[in-house]
Each structure stands twice: as structure tokens, then as C-alpha cells.
Structure 1
Amino acid sequence: MKSAVGTLNTYSWTLIFSDFKEITKARLALSVVFSSIAGYFLGAYQIEWTSVLMLAIGGYCMVGASNAYNQVIEKDLDALMSRTANRPVPSGRMSSATALTIAVIMTLLGIGILYLLNPKTAMFGAIAIFLYTSVYTPLKTVTPLSVFVGAIPGAIPFMLGWVAATNDFGIEPGTLFMIQFFWQFPHFWALAWMLDEDYKKAGFKMLPTGKKDKGTVVQIIMYTVWMIIISVIPVLGITGRLQLSLAGGIIIFLMGMAMLVFAMLLFEKRNNATARKLMLASVIYISLMQVVYVADKYISQIWI
């Protein structure tokens, strides 16, 4: 009997932990934390590991809160889509009140921790939550322009790390913001292309033209080009302390061109398989780009 109870308790805690990861979208939240830490390493004169830990915890809380609010607001729409029907709230495993409580606690905890780093970091974190839940989320069923609004909070994490390290907002974090801002359009529209049929069940208007057509892919290509341009601008030495060596710039340019090739293939084939390849290429690009920026900074310091 004790063994059976112990097994049941273990199963319960496993399910609770699994639902917590789902309600906060743990994989997405961790990728955001990665971006924030990369921004911190770029901005910091000296690494303070306590600050890095606070940024990681605070950043996870902010993203987790945003996702929890989103799933409470969209619970009825999530139930209509195959991709989201089994989420904790629409499936009935977690009540809306519980999810909302998690969101509020994580909001307060996240803002509090980021405020201890500096007020500007907390302010940008709070702005990200507000825009994601109060503007982007309700606009998704109204207009494809919701993607542009959603790209703002989505672009904050990379620059947030710099602000956390410096307590300053200038051209450097502004450039980091623009890189991730432009990156989101090819990334998200590739994802929206794959999920278009599912999104339409809930009435979400996510593709720029409303259709999986050449017009949508032309915009994907356009934003990919802008992403590449912004990503290599620091090579010119016009972005303050945010510097990029010629070698680093060439590496990032080639990575961006590889992503552009997948965008061009989508223009040619216009199918879900190619959209998936572009989406995966975009994930690889943003992660490696941040690694190259950080590695380039510290390798350049060694050689100076």
C-alpha cells in the first residue's frame, strides 16, 4: 500500500511539474533567458555571477508569467486547436484561477528580482509583460499586425541583459533589440505557415497576407535581409561599445545568408516541410549569433 501511495505521489508531482513547464512554456522561457545572459555578457565590464543568476530567475519569471496570462486569456481558443488543446488550462488539468495565481506570483517575483538589478531592467520586463498580454494577445484574432506588436516584447530579452549589466539604455542595447526584432518575423511567419490551418480554427490572423502565398514569403525574405544587415552593423564601429570584429561579422553574415537560402526555398516550394526548415534555421541562427557576439568580444579583449 505504501509503495502504491508513493508511486501515486511521485506521479502527481511529475504531472504538476510537467504542467508548470507547460503553463510557463519552459523551453521558450529558457531560450529567452539564454538571450538575456548573452546580452549581459556583452554589456558587462566584469561578470557578477550573482547578477547573472538574478537575471536568469527574473527573466524566466517574466516570460513564464506572460505565457501563463496568455493561456488563461486564450483557454477557449486553445481548446479549438490540436497543438494547444492538451495544455493544462483548456484540458481542465489546471483551473484558470490557479494559472492566474501562478502568473501574478511570477510577475511580482520577476519584477522584484529585476528591480534589485536596477529599475530600468524591471521597467523593460514589465513593459514586455504588458505588451504581450494586453496588446499582442487580444490582437491575434483581429489583425496580422499583432505580430509586429508581439515582436516588441519578443525583442526585449537580448537588450535586457545589456541594461541589467550597465543600468543604461543607448545605441548598444538598441542595436541588440533591433537584431532580435527583425529576426522574429521570418522565424514566426515560418512557424505560422506550418500551423496556419490550426491557427484558423481559433480565428488567429498570423500570416501577413492572411495566406500561404508568395506575398507572405516576400515579406519573410525582406525581414531576413534586414536582420542580416542589422546583425553585422557593429562591424562598422558605429554602435558604441557593441563591437564586432571583421571575422565575427563574416561568420554572422554567412549564417544569415544560410537562413536567407531557406527563405528563398520557401518562395520556390511554398510547403510546410520547407517552412519547418526555415524555422529551425532561424532558431540555430539566433542562438549561434549570440554565441559569436559574446565569443568575439572576449577573444578580441585577449588580443588587444
Structure 2
Amino acid sequence: MKMAVSSVKNTALSLYFADFKEITKARLAVSVVFSSIAGYFLGAVEINLVSVLLLAFGGYCMVGASNAYNQVIEKDLDALMNRTRNRPIPSGRMSVAMAMTIAVLLTLLGIVALYFLNPKTAMFGAISIFLYTSVYTPLKTVTPLAVFVGAFPGAIPFMLGWVAATDNFGIEPGTLFMIQFFWQFPHFWALGWMLDDDYKKGGFKMLPTGKKDKGTALQIIMYTIWMMLISIIPVFGFTGRLQLSVVAAGVIFLMGLVMLLFAFRLYEKRDNASARKLMLASVSYITLMQVVYVVDKFI
């Protein structure tokens, strides 16, 4: 009997943990934390383990809070779409009150953790939550410009790490911000292309032209080119302490060309398979680009 009760408790805990990961979008949160830590390594003169842990914890809390607020706001729309109807709130596994409690607690914990690093880091973290939940989320059903607005909080993590390490906002974190800002357009438009039919069920307007057409594909190409150019700006030596060697810039540019190739294939074929390949290429690009930046600094 005791073993049976213990097994039930373990199952319940695992389900609660699974719902927590879902409400906070754990995979996305971890990727954001990775970007923040990469920015920290680029900005830090000396690596402080406590600071890295505070940044990781605070960063996860801020992203998790944003996603929890988002799922509370969009609970009725999530119930209409195949990819989101099994989320904790629309499926009935989690109440709105519980989701809001999680969101508020994560907000407070995240701001406090980031404040221990420095006030600027906490301020940018709070701004990202506000923009994501109060501006980007409501605009998603109103205008495709929501993606432009959402790119601002989405671009904060890479620069946030630099600010956490230096307590300063200047040309260096501004450059990191711009890299991730422009990267988001091909990434999210590729994702929006793949999920367009499902997004329409919820009334979301995610593609720039509202259609899976050449106009959208052309804009993806243009933003990919901008992303490639901005990613190698530090090689020219006018971005302060943010430096990039010629070899590293060449590697990053080649990675960008691969992503651009997938963007051109989407323009040519205009199908979901091509959009998926571009989306995966974009995820690989942002991760490897940040790794190259960090490795280039320390070798």
C-alpha cells in the first residue's frame, strides 16, 4: 500500500513538474539563458560563478514569467489551436490563479536575482517582461507588426549578459542587441510560415504580408542579409571592447550564407518543408554564432 501511495505521489509530482516546464516554456527559457551567459562571458573581465548562477536563475525566471503571463492572456485562443490546446490552462490541468501565482513569483524572484547583479540588469529584465506581455502579446491578433515589437524583448538576453558583467550599456551590448534583434525576423517568420494555418485559428497575424507568398519570403531574405552584416560588425574595430577576429568573422559569415541559402529556397519553393529547414538553420546559427564569439575572445 505504501509503495502504491508513493508511486502515485511521484507520478503527481512529475506531472506538476511537466506542467511547470510547459507554462514557462523550459526549452525556450534555457536557450535565452544560454544567450545571456554568452553575453556575460563576452563582457566579463573575470568570470564570477555566483554572478553566472544569478544570471541563469534570474534569466529563467524572467522568461518563464513572460510565458506564464502570455498563456494566461491567450488561454482562450490557445484552446483553438492544435499546437497549444494541450497546454496546462486550456486543457484544464492548471487554473488561471495558479498560473498567475507562478508568473508573479517568477517575476519577483527574477528581478531580485538580477538586481543582485546590478540595477541596470534588473531594469532591462523588467522591461522585457512588460514589452512581451503588455505590448507584443495583445498585438499578435491585431497586426503583423507584433513581430517587430516582440523582437525588442527577444533581443534583450544577449546584451543582458554584457550589462550583468559590466554594469554598463554602450556600443558593445547595443551591438549584441542588434544581432539578436535582426535574427528574430527570419526565425519567427519561418516558424510563422510553418504554423500559419494553426495561427489563423487563433486569429494571430504573424507573417509580414499576412500570406505565405513571395513578399514574405523576400522580407525573410532581406532581414537575413542584415543579420549577417551586423553579426560581423565587431571585426572592423569600432565596437569598443567587443572584438571579433577575421577568422571568426569569416566563420560567422559562412554560417550566415548557409542560412541565407535556406531563405532563398523558401522563396523558390514556398512550402512548409523549406520553412522548417530555415527555422532549424536559424536556431543553429544563433547558437553557433554566440559560441564563436565567446571562443574567439578566449583564444
Shorter-chain TM-score: which interval?
A: over 0.9
5+ residue gaps, structure 1, are: 300-304
Residue 6 of structure 1 deviates from its aligned partner by 1.2
CA deviation map 1:222-251 (0-9, x unaligned): 000000000001000010000000000000
5+ residue gaps, structure 2, are: none
Residue 4 of structure 1 deviates from its aligned partner by 1.5
Q: How does 1:104-183 map to 2 (within 5 A)?
A: 104-183=104-183
Alpha-carbon distance in 1 for matches of 2:192, 2:90:
21
Match of 2:62 in 1: 62
Match of 2:254 in 1: 254
Residue 271 of structure 1 deviates from its aligned partner by 0.3
CA deviation map 1:16-48 (0-9, x unaligned): 000000000000000000000000000000000
Percent identical across equivalent pairs? 78
CA deviation map 1:114-136 (0-9, x unaligned): 00100000000000000000000
**Which amino acid in structure 1 is aligned with residue 290 of structure 2?**
Q
Match of 1:219 in 2: 219
Match of 2:86 in 1: 86
- Aligned to 2:184, the other structure's residue is in SS state helix
Alpha-carbon distance in 1 for matches of 2:255, 2:187:
14
Match of 1:279 in 2: 279
- Aligned to 2:83, the other structure's residue is in SS state coil
Q: How does 1:280-299 map to 2 (within 5 A)?
A: 280-299=280-299
Q: Number of aligned pairs?
A: 299
Match of 1:199 in 2: 199
Q: TM-score, normalised by structure 1?
A: 0.98
Moved over 4 A (4+): none
Alpha-carbon distance in 2 for matches of 1:144, 1:161:
29
Residue 102 of structure 1 deviates from its aligned partner by 0.2
Alpha-carbon distance in 1 for matches of 2:226, 2:291:
20
Is 1:49 the counterpart of 2:45 in the alignment? no
Match of 1:4 in 2: 4
Match of 1:242 in 2: 242
Match of 1:24 in 2: 24
Alpha-carbon distance in 1 for matches of 2:11, 2:116:
37
Alpha-carbon distance in 2 for matches of 1:261, 1:174:
28
